[in-house]
Amino acid sequence: MAHPNGSDDESQTPADQPRVERVRFDGQDAWCKRPEAARSSIFTSLHRILDRVLPKVMRSTNAVGGIDALHGEAKRLRVFDVKGLPVPKVLQETEEHLVLSDCGAQLRGHMRVSSDAAEKTRLIAQALEVLVSIHQAGLAHGRPFLKDMTLSNEGAIYVLDLEEDPIARMPLADAQARDVYLFLLSCAEFQDDPKQGLKRVLGTYLTNAPKEVAPRLIALCNSLRVLRWIIRGTGATLFTHDAHGAYWAARVLEGVADLDVAD
């Protein structure tokens, strides 16, 4: 079979090639993903240190890198696909790369250039429906940021980048609670009033979510309180979207304890 880029050139080494690139594969648009270098011992040691001070549910779920990470992603993509969840199709899996079907433009990028506030609200609601469907299927994403979702030409939202498997590191309900926090974090930049906007998103999630998740959201909120105070005290919310989102997501989760949803 021809190379994913449509050529028969075997002279390029992996070091010469981008990790992710758009290609043509069997006559259709697709994406070729090549492995990252395996994580260094310094990288893994740093994460071990951070894992000692972070709440368990927020500890790193990073894939180890290398081809094993891509094989793990292919496996998870197939699991999601079998359950009818919107993910790219695995078109080819080798010891050098994955080829995945094209699912459209990055959702966050589309929303950042849009001036239509109503469209942004609708897309967040649509992305939330996808996250709820993942959780109702007994799965967790791992990092459901809007930048790890796409919007197809037909208006469907797909989820990407499943290298990380949080369920391998923590119970399902904790992994799903972590998903909710990260999703809220990524939505904050698109809210004129982050507190009220994220409260509405969270309320919709809780109405449809597995009942086991709400108690874990309360536990997560309690563990994030110090982090929120640090972010507020340092003024970090003024400098990055991530810090802004982390603060408001943690702030909004405090309201879960006031709802009649906990065991």
Per-residue tokens: 256: 């879960």
pLDDT in tens, 225-235: 656 556 555 55
Q: Are residues 88 and 193 in the same domain?
A: no
Q: What is the pTM of this model?
A: 0.83
**Last residue within a domain, chosen from 85, 101, 117:** 101
Q: Are residues 142 and 206 in the same domain?
A: yes
What is the domain-level CATH number for residue 21?
3.30.200
Q: Are residues 29 and 112 in the same domain?
A: no
Q: Are residues 160 and 61 in the same domain?
A: no
The answer to whether 110 and 151 are in contact (CB under 8 A) is yes
Q: Are residues 20 and 43 in the same domain?
A: yes
The total domain count for the chain is: 2
**Last residue within a domain, chosen from 101, 126, 156:** 101
Q: Are residues 144 and 251 in the same domain?
A: yes
Q: Are residues 90 and 172 in the same domain?
A: no
Q: Are residues 95 and 116 in the same domain?
A: no
Q: Are residues 179 and 247 in the same domain?
A: yes
Q: Are residues 246 and 207 in the same domain?
A: yes
Q: Are residues 128 and 231 in the same domain?
A: yes
Across 127-234, where does the E strand assignment appear? 149-151, 157-159
**Last residue within a domain, chosen from 101, 131, 157:** 101
Which residue range(s) make up the domain with 84?
Answer: 14-101
Q: What is the DSSP secondary structure assignment for residue 184, as one 8-state letter?
A: H
Distance CA(108)–CA(123), nearest Å, equals 10
Beta bridge partners of 31: 22, 100
Residue 13 has pLDDT above 50, yes or no: no
Is residue 5 situated within a structural domain? no
Average pLDDT of the residues in 110-133: 98
pLDDT band at residue 254 under the 50/70/90 scheme: confident
What is the percent of the chain with per-residue pLDDT over 70, rounded to a whole number? 75
pLDDT in tens, 18-65: 889 999 999 999 999 998 865 555 445 544 554 555 566 665 566 567
Question: In this predicted structure, what is the pLDDT of residue 226?
Answer: 59
The answer to whether 209 and 172 are in contact (CB under 8 A) is no
The least confident of 67-76, 170-179, 242-251 is 242-251
